[in-house]
Amino acid sequence: MIKNKLFYILCFLLIVLLIYSFSHIYDFRDYYIMAGTKYESPIYYIDNGRKIKVMIISGIHGNEIGGIKAAARIIEVKPDWANFIIIPRSNTEAVRNEERNPYYMSDLNRAFPGKPNGTDTEVMAYEIFKLVEKESPDIVMDLHEWERNYDEDSSFLANGLILDLMDSKFMEITEKVYDDYIIDNDSTKIMLDTSSLNGSFNKEVSDRLGIPVLTIESNMNDKLENRISFHLYVIERIINYFR
């Protein structure tokens, strides 16, 4: 009798645990950008019961592996920093081939806000842009990589932070993270830029929707784990300062 009661209690606790788990992480496999096409890519929702909603976009360029891996790490670990909406492989064809963009597509990061009846690249840009507009996150993190050396001393590799929206609060937060990184690191430098190109995800979302976007650029010449860590470092600190 006691064994049977213990068994039922354990089953009940297991069910409660499963319900709790599913209420805090949703992998909507029927929610995609470019659904039904060869470009379809899943959107992940992580609900941690937080007030702040953060959208993470990576894989706009398929060869920028550090940002793609960092987004995947957040999906896997599910840190409770915020509620997340994540598209880890925005241009899934480019990610699959590990190239900036396939030869038959134009640069996705010059195609925003996109067109609903345009080229494949323009439709992809349009669907991502409309998702941001629909979800209206507090912050968007745009994960990229570059190959740049530090302007003041080219013997150092440089990571970067880029923002276009001149929002005083978000600028102040970004500068704090910039200063933190300088204190915490001496082998890889960091550069802060306050401009972005026309047609880029950062500029078009910032200008048209008024949502703060931070482009995070890890250095492709650094070790992969260092690049992933840089993205996670910046994301966590931006969120902590924003709350």
Which two three-digit tokens encode residue 242? 């924003």
How far apart, in whole angstroms, are the C-alpha atoms of residue 10 and residue 12? Answer: 5
Q: What share of the chain is helix, strand, coil (3-state, %, to 5)?
A: 45, 20, 35
Model confidence at 30, pLDDT cuts 50, 70, 90, reads low
Does domain 26-242 correspond to CATH entry 3.30.40.10? no
Q: What pLDDT is attached to residue 13?
A: 44
Model confidence at 190, pLDDT cuts 50, 70, 90, reads very high
pTM: 0.88
CA dist 180 → 23, 102, 241 (Å): 34, 37, 12
Which two three-digit tokens encode residue 98? 């590990």
Q: Is it the case that residue 10 has pLDDT exceeding 60? A: no
Q: Per-residue pLDDT averaged across 141-150, rounded?
A: 97
Percent over 90 (pLDDT), the chain: 80
Ramachandran category for residue 34: left, alpha or beta (phi over 0 → left; psi -120 to 50 → alpha):
left
Q: What pLDDT is attached to residue 47?
A: 94
CA dist 220 → 26, 65, 128, 159, 167 (Å): 31, 8, 25, 9, 29
Q: Is it the case that residue 6 has pLDDT exceeding 80? A: no
Other beta carbons within 10 Å of 81: 21
- Name residues whose C-beta falls within 8 Å of residue 225's C-beta, 6 or more positions apart in sequence: none
Q: Per-residue pLDDT averaged across 42-71, rounded?
A: 97
How far apart, in whole angstroms, are the C-alpha atoms of residue 155 and residue 186? Answer: 12
Q: Could you tell me whether strands 83-87 and 41-46 are parallel, antiparallel, or unpaired per DSSP bridges?
A: antiparallel
Q: Is it the case that residue 155 has pLDDT exceeding 50? A: yes
Tell me the pLDDT tens digit for each residue of 97-135. Answer: 999 999 999 999 999 999 999 999 999 999 999 999 999
Helix, strand, or coil (residue 88): coil
Tell me the pLDDT tens digit for each residue of 76-100. Answer: 999 999 999 999 999 999 999 999 9
Structure letter (DSSP) for residue 149: B
Residue found by looking up tokens 């959208």 in the block: 55
Model confidence at 4, pLDDT cuts 50, 70, 90, reads low
Identify whether the C-beta of residue 61 lies closer than 8 Å to the C-beta of residue 100. yes
Candidates 224, 195, 67, 43; CA nearest to 143 is 67
Dihedral sign for Cα atoms in the order 167, 169, 175, 181: negative
Q: What pLDDT is attached to residue 28?
A: 43
Model confidence at 243, pLDDT cuts 50, 70, 90, reads confident
Q: Is it the case that residue 36 has pLDDT exceeding 60? A: yes
Lowest-confidence pick of 101-110, 132-141, 184-193: 184-193
